[in-house]
């Protein structure tokens, strides 16, 4: 049974490397960079987790060092080009990964000592704040913290990190239109995601303050148009009023 667990753990960590490197490729290609704050902190954390997992399993030498590790990103590009098309040239991508690896190598030992001192002070019981400090301020991957503290990664750790970043980075919402007096639009797309034609009553029309007050914001009684939400882009279509398309 123990051997089965070990084999499953190896496969799991292989998938961790593949999943994390794919995420890093997309994020950096989209303009993000590793840092200690915000989304950049997430990139740094999962990149360092890759380094840590490779080192623990002796995969760094099997990959052939940095060249082999960078080769994983090239494989992702080939695998994803049917979805996203060819990736544009990013001349400094390799250098970004190399710099992060050098920083990890030079800071890992010193920061691990800081963590060991903290663990001794806290009698090996870390609060969620301690975990976040070790990850964001000291750059220690969660797996490494779990290893040194001999404790499991808290189930709410990444949720708490994301929540705190959202509280800091999210701007106050600006309400452009007062719709409180209107009934909630019935969302037809929840009942039938393949609905392409429908009839509805126009409740009111607003002047679009973002387009020189053009009266082009129509509030419908019911709608099959899906709005941009949850990472999915909105539907597009036409309104036909008395036979005339708008």
**Torsion from C-alpha of 80, 44, 61, 145, nearest 10 degrees:** -130
Does 140 share its domain with 198?
no
Q: Report the DSSP beta bridge partners of residue 208.
A: 214
Which pLDDT score, from 0 to 100, does residue 210 have?
A: 83
Q: What separation in angstroms does the CA of 94 have from each of 4, 74, 82, 83, 217?
A: 36, 11, 23, 23, 46
Which pLDDT score, from 0 to 100, does residue 159 have?
A: 84
Does 30 share its domain with 88?
yes
Which pLDDT score, from 0 to 100, does residue 80 have?
A: 93
Does 6 share its domain with 65?
yes
Structure tokens at 12: 């799991």
Does 211 share its domain with 111?
no
The parts of the chain modelled with pLDDT lower than 70 are 37-38, 108-109, 168-173, 230-231
Total domains present in the chain? 2
Whether residue 177 lies inside any domain: the answer is no
Whether residue 19 lies inside any domain: the answer is yes
Q: Phi and psi (nearest 5°) for 197?
A: -130, 135
- Residue 140's nearest CA partner among 214, 72, 47, 65 is 47
**All residues at 6 or more sequence positions from 122 whose CB lies less than 8 Å from its CB, including other chains:** 130
Does 103 share its domain with 64?
yes
Does 139 share its domain with 26?
yes
Whether residue 179 lies inside any domain: the answer is no
Q: String of b and e for 117-127 (b: at least 16 CB within 10 Å)?
A: ebbeeeeeebe
Whether residue 137 lies inside any domain: the answer is yes
Structure tokens at 238: 């036409």
Contact (Cβ atoms closer than 8 angstroms) between residue 222 and residue 198: yes
- Residue 141's nearest CA partner among 20, 33, 26 is 20
Whether residue 180 lies inside any domain: the answer is no
Q: What percent of the chain has pLDDT over 70?
A: 93
Contact (Cβ atoms closer than 8 angstroms) between residue 104 and residue 112: no
Does 96 share its domain with 207?
no
Which pLDDT score, from 0 to 100, does residue 22 have?
A: 96
Domain holding 149, by residue range, is 2-169
Does 82 share its domain with 194?
no
Does 36 share its domain with 86?
yes
**All residues at 6 or more sequence positions from 149 whose CB lies less than 8 Å from its CB, including other chains:** 115, 119, 124, 126
**pTM for the whole thing?**
0.56
């Amino acid at each position: 049974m123990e051997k089965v667990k070990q084999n499953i753990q190896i496969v799991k960590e292989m998938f961790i490397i593949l999943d994390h490197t794919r995420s890093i490729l997309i994020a950096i290609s989209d303009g993000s960079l590793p840092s200690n704050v915000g989304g950049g902190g997430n990139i740094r954390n999962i990149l360092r987790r890759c380094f840590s997992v490779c080192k623990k399993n002796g995969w760094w030498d099997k990959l052939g060092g940095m060249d082999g590790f960078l080769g994983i990103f090239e494989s992702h590009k080939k695998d994803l080009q049917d979805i996203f098309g060819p990736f544009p040239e990013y001349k400094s991508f390799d250098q970004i990964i190399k710099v992060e690896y050098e920083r990890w190598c030079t800071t890992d030992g010193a920061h691990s000592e800081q963590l060991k001192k903290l663990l001794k002070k806290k009698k090996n019981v870390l609060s969620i704040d301690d975990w976040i400090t070790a990850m964001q301020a000291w750059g220690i991957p969660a797996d490494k913290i779990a290893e040194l503290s001999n404790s499991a990664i808290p189930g709410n750790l990444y949720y708490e990190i994301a929540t705190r970043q959202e509280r800091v980075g999210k701007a106050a919402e600006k309400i452009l239109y007062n719709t409180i007096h209107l009934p909630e639009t019935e969302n037809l797309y929840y009942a039938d995601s393949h609905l392409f034609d429908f009839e509805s009553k126009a409740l009111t029309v607003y002047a679009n303050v973002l387009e020189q007050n053009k009266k082009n914001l129509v509030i419908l009684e019911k709608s099959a148009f899906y709005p941009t939400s949850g990472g999915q882009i909105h539907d597009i279509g036409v309104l036909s009023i008395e036979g005339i398309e708008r």
